[in-house]
A and B are shown apart, each in its own frame.
Chain A
Amino acid sequence: EAQVTQNPRYLITVTGKKLTVTCSQNMNHEYMSWYRQDPGLGLRQIYYSMNVEVTDKGDVPEGYKVSRKEKRNFPLILESPSPNQTSLYFCASSLTGTGGSNEQFFGPGTRLTVL
């Protein structure tokens, strides 16, 4: 089944404790992206990757890191999480990075709480 998977689905952690949220897609997509969803703000892009070893900042990159060593994986790293990073996170992928009508496929989401 074609899908985007994220792990973990739920995470409660404390301020300053490094964490990684994994994202994997099995559709051989070139483009991958991370979004965060907050009430009243919709989804905002954190980082994106046009292809392996190519990553760039989105609208809200502060406090996050990403890497793209393999085509299928795009982990989101929080080196020192803070309470304002409590949010619902979505990974997404699409066939190419050239936009237009390409559909983006979303993972099920990771609900992160930072105490």
Chain B
Amino acid sequence: GNSVTQMEGPVTLSEEAFLTINCTYTATGYPSLFWYVQYPGEGLQLLLKATKADDKGSNKGFEATYRKETTSFHLEKGSVQVSDSAVYFCALRNFGNEKLTFGTGTRLTIIP
């Protein structure tokens, strides 16, 4: 079955540091890949997505590239801000099935 493995947290960084949150997956076929963000007290919001190999999703300065050869979808940001403090979830979905399979989430805290 499908599974998503995410970098264990929590992660604490200083403002303007470089961020990488690792995500690898196991799936049949060619899934779509997603990063969701959960700010304190809120539901999940879609941050970015990629639907095929070598696609790069980007939003709000975050990027992730769909790497089929390494089954990875690592999240990166060049300069984090305090407002980026949140929990980040990597997820996948197979075509023809709406179900999302989530990783365990990574809590990110940015200190000024």
Chain A interface residues toward B at CB < 8 A:
4, 31, 33, 35, 40-45, 48, 50, 58, 90, 92, 94, 96-104, 106-109
B42 touches A108 (CB 8 A): yes
Q: List 18 A-B contacts (CB under 8 A).
A: A35-B102, A42-B104, A43-B44, A44-B102, A45-B99, A92-B44, A94-B98, A98-B96, A99-B32, A99-B93, A99-B96, A99-B97, A100-B32, A100-B95, A101-B49, A101-B51, A107-B43, A108-B42
- 10 more contacts with CB within 8 A, not counting A42-B105, A104-B98, are A42-B104, A45-B100, A92-B100, A97-B98, A98-B95, A98-B98, A99-B94, A99-B97, A106-B43, A109-B42
Q: Given the complex, which residues of A lie within 8 Å of B32, measured CB to CB? A: 99-101
Which size bracket describes the interface of B in this complex? Answer: 20 to 34
**A103 to B51 alpha-carbon distance, docked (Å):** 12
Report A-chain residues with C-beta under 8 Å of the C-beta of B94: 99
B89 near A42 with CB under 8 A, answer: yes
How far is the CB of A11 from the nearest CB of chain B, in Å?
16
Check if B98 sits within 8 Å of A106, measured CB to CB: no
Query: Which residues of the other chain, A, contact B43 by a CB distance below 8 angstroms?
Result: 4, 90, 106-109
Contacts of B17 in A (CB 8 A): none
* Residues in B neighbouring A101, C-beta threshold 8 A: 32, 49, 51
Which of B45, B96, B98, B100: most chain A CB closer than 10 A? B98
Chain A residues with CB under 8 A of B45: 106
Q: Which residues of A contact B4 (CB under 8 A)?
A: 42
Q: Would you give the 0/1 interface string for B25-62, flagging 1 where the beta carbon is closer than 8 Å to chain A?
A: 00000001000100001111110010100000000000
Q: Tell me whether A106 and B95 are in contact (CB under 8 A).
A: no
Measured in the bound complex, the distance between the Cα atoms of B93 and A40 in whole Å is: 20
A102 surroundings in chain B (CB, below 8 A)? 98
Identity of the chain A residue whose Cβ is nearest the Cβ of B6 in the assembled complex: A42
Q: Closest residue of chain A to B45, judged by CB?
A: A106
B100 in complex: contacting residue of A40, A43, A100, A109, CB < 8 Å: A43
